[in-house]
Chains A and B, each alone.
Chain A
Amino acid sequence: MTDLLIIAIPVFPLLAMLLNGLLGSRYSHDIAGRIACSSVGLSFATALAVFANQLQIGGVREVVVYRWIFGGDLNINLAFLIDPLACIMLLVVTGVGFLIHLYSIGYMHGEEGFTRFFTYMNLFMVSMLLLVMGNNYAVLFIGWEGVGLCSYLLIGYYYDKVSAAKAATKAFVVNRIGDAGFLLAIFLVFYNFGTLDYTQVFAHASQLSPKMATAIALCLLVGAIGKSAQLPLYTWLPDAMEGPTPVSALIHAATMVTAGVYMIARNHAIYDLSPVAMTTVAVVGGTTALFAATIGLVQTDIKRVLAYSTVSQLGYMFLGCGIGAYAAAIFHLMTHAFFKALLFLSAGSVIHALGGEQDIRKMGGLRKKIPWTHALFLIGTLAIAGIFPLAGFWSKDEIMAHAFVHHHYVLYVMAAIGALLTSFYMFRLTYLTFYGRSRMDHHTAEHIHESPMIMIGPLVLLAGLSVIGGFPGVPPENGWFHHFLHPSVAAGAAEEHGVSLGLVVSLMGVATVIALAGWGLAHYLYRVRPEAANQWASKAPAAYTTLLNKYYVDELYDRLFVEPTKKLGQVWDWFDRTIIDGLVRGVGELTESSAWLSTWMEKHVIYGTINVIGYSNHLAARAWRKLQSGMVHHYAAIIVAGLFILVHLVVVWWTMGAVR
């Protein structure tokens, strides 16, 4: 029974996707939206049932749907693995996914391609569920590529917009780099273990040589960096904001981009073997957390600020994985899904209210006009900034505390500065959007309206989750969440640290002070003395422009990779046109002239010979066919004549024999 339930989880959105994709044009948008939402809702309900079952029974459950590839040494099943980690991911993906689907009905109302949107969203849900439920690397990879495809399709949802089409291509191409690393890792795993099943691989992981473990872990990390937008492959994520806002919330904040974190946590058995890889993960995460946060400080597009914030928060998760705090990383993944989805969707509500405006310089003073959205956005901001006791406080503090307790002081300082910046830019965003004077033009200001219930409802639920989402993880490192997750991510070296209560509390205090400091700074710069921000910026113009231009990383990549690739493409184009086409054309012309020659030969020599033979046969036949008179007695006469001749010959032969 449970097996059936597990299989049913991805089947619901799959069916809805097929239904909407194939027949969606036959019925109204309303019905298409309902089908899509209810399928994800059913998935969520089923996931809850599976989760309840996991709570009661525990352990690991594997369900083979069918044998997919088998032959020789290669045996791959389409099979699912349900353990605590998969359960958490399932709940986050289907739960947040369901709320975002609901919200999308309101947000996408009246858009052209409404059904297409929900078809892609459902396809995304299927892929994401395969990704988190798969029991081997092949299924993980299918889901991994599936979510990448859906990300591409949904970023390019407004495909007639050039920037959207370009952003979609960029996301796809940058992800290919990561996927190449991931594929290499899969090949290495198969080469070393002869199987792709998690259970068998992790059971034998300890037999790996340290070098091989490092190689596999680093290749996996390349894949995770691509998918989770870490340094140096993060550049696609801010551009991905070209997609509709629910897409940004679902794919580029709550679920898909966390796939890398999930993957590292899933493969912790391999990472635990390689201190080098662990350190790399932690450094990548810590650097990204700080780096992206600094860019977020000065961005003026509401969604881009949130995008950089996502990159930064993903950095915290990587940092958590890298220092062995897998449970904390997954915990942060979960709370981040709540509050980042909330923030994105509230931002979507703001954009919706302003009729598509995304530039925060043209907002301001919205608090009175859209009070619900304001309250919800504020809750999200408090949560991500790490204000006690909202969700973000517990998860982020736990990662930072883990770093401090395990003596990763540099990483701790980076994370702490990142947290300060996070708090600052999030409150800056809130103040610029909702407080102060209105900077809108008259036309926009007149049409401001609060979003409909179908959008506010899911937001209220997400806000609730953002407030209480941290409590399963209390107390840090020893909460219900950690005990539940323990079987999945129990690191080999997870020795209990006798951390004194005093240290924990004082670290929490430091974190709170950091968050409040960021808040205070933002409050001073954007509320108390609004002109101060510009003065500060003009004092350090170089730093400001660098940040505003995102450290020129896009330009750098353009110079280093894109332009040379284009040049190379031109070279090959020339090569193709002149050398290869020349060869082909030469061969063609050679064939043509030899064909002319052989045509001539055929016409004059071969046909001549054949005609001579045929004509002489014809002439001979004209003479000989006279024999065939058709009259029976002629034939009889010839037979008799022949008989006489034969008998004569025989007689002559006999007599000659007799003579001799």
Chain B
Amino acid sequence: MVPLSAYVAVSAILFVTGLIGVLIRRNFIIVLMAVEIMLNAANLNLVAFSHYLESMTGQIIALFVIAIAAGEAAVGLAIIIVVFRGKISTNVDEMNLLKW
């Protein structure tokens, strides 16, 4: 029987991996993939706790998160394509229009 703390630890490692990816990588697509990793870390947490607490709610929510993650990936990729058409680049540092 794998203890809950193991799941949580794996989940935390995954999350931090995704977080670091988001913060340090400059390629928009990779940033998006890092975000997906963070979402999956959260999913793992939800499923683990669901099993631990013997409640199905967490697993259902995990399913929702997966669906939303798919939608988010689709929208994100679409944005990347649009931006790429204008900039001929996927470098996040060049996308700095959101300032004063």
Contacts and interface: CB of A to CB of B under 8 A. Distances in A.
A pairs with B = yes
Interface of A: 625, 628-633, 636-637, 640
15 contacts: A625-B100, A628-B99, A628-B100, A629-B96, A630-B95, A630-B97, A630-B99, A631-B92, A632-B92, A632-B98, A633-B23, A633-B24, A636-B22, A637-B23, A640-B23
Interface in B14-72: 19, 22-24, 31
Contacts of B95: 630-632
A636 B98 CA distance: 13
How big is chain B's contact interface, by range?
10 to 19
Rank and list the top 5 A-B pairs by shortest CB-CB distance, nearest first. Answer: A630-B99, A630-B96, A628-B99, A625-B100, A630-B98
A553 to B, nearest CB: 93
A628 B22 CA distance: 18
Given A630-B98, A632-B31, 9 more contacts: A625-B99, A628-B100, A631-B92, A631-B95, A633-B31, A633-B92, A636-B23, A637-B23, A640-B19
Contacts of A640: 19, 23
Contact of B22 (A625, A629, A631, A633): A633
Interface of B: 19, 22-24, 31, 92-93, 95-100
A638 B97 CA distance: 18
Nearest to B22: A636
Given A636-B22, A636-B23, A640-B19, A629 B99 contact: yes
A400 to B, nearest CB: 108
* Dominant secondary structure at the A interface: helix
Nearest to A621: B100
Contacts of A628: 98-100
A633 B93 CA distance: 8
A203 B92 CA distance: 101
A630 B96 CA distance: 4
Contacts of A625: 99-100
A631 B96 contact: yes
Contacts of B31: 632-633
B34 to A, nearest CB: 10
B76 to A, nearest CB: 12
Nearest to A643: B19
A533 B95 CA distance: 122
Nearest to B97: A630
Nearest to B93: A631
Q: Which of A630, A637, A640 has the largest number of chain B CB atoms within 10 A? A: A630
A224 B97 CA distance: 90
A631 B100 CA distance: 12
Contacts of A632: 31, 92, 95, 98
Contacts of A636: 22-23
A647 to B, nearest CB: 12
A630 B98 CA distance: 4
A621 to B, nearest CB: 8
A89 to B, nearest CB: 89
Contacts of B97: 630
Contacts of A629: 96, 99
A490 to B, nearest CB: 99
Nearest to B95: A632
A29 to B, nearest CB: 81
